[in-house]
Structure 1
Amino acid sequence: MTDSSEANKERNRQIARNEEAKQITGSIRVSTWAIAVAVVIGAMIFALIWIASRS
């Protein structure tokens, strides 16, 4: 019975490691989108200011 218990504990540890990896990947994906959106908005604001200053 101890072997079964140890196998379950190891299986649970592996599941926890997999979930952690998924969370990290998801966080990186969200961060990448946030940075991309910020760059696009910044470029649009810069373009508007540049166009306004040339007029």
Structure 2
Amino acid sequence: MTDTANKQRNRDIARNEEAKQVTGSVRVSAWAIAVAVIIGGILFTLGWLSLR
């Protein structure tokens, strides 16, 4: 492999890794939001029931 081809290959690999990281971050964020909403709903329900 020539130096230019090697550099291009490394750039392609870096781009692919970046895309994987973004996808993973979005997935983790979605899970964190879902868990926060579920916990918030449970706490809201418990608070509402304790006031009744």
Measured against the shorter chain, the TM-score band is: over 0.9
Larger Cα-atom Rg: 1
Identical-pair percentage: 65
Read off the aligned partner of 1:10 and give its amino acid letter.
Answer: Q
Q: Deviation above 6 Å: which 4+ runs of structure 1?
A: none
1:4 deviates by: 1.2
Query: Scaled by the length of structure 2, what TM-score is found?
Result: 0.95
**How many angstroms apart in 1 are the aligned matches of 2:13 and 2:40?**
41
What stretches of structure 2 of length at least 5 have no aligned partner? none
What stretches of structure 1 of length at least 5 have no aligned partner? none
Query: Scaled by the length of structure 1, what TM-score is found?
Result: 0.90
User: Between Structure 1 and Structure 2, how many residues are aligned?
Assistant: 52
CA RMSD after TM alignment: 1.1
Q: Name the structure 2 match of 1:32.
A: 30
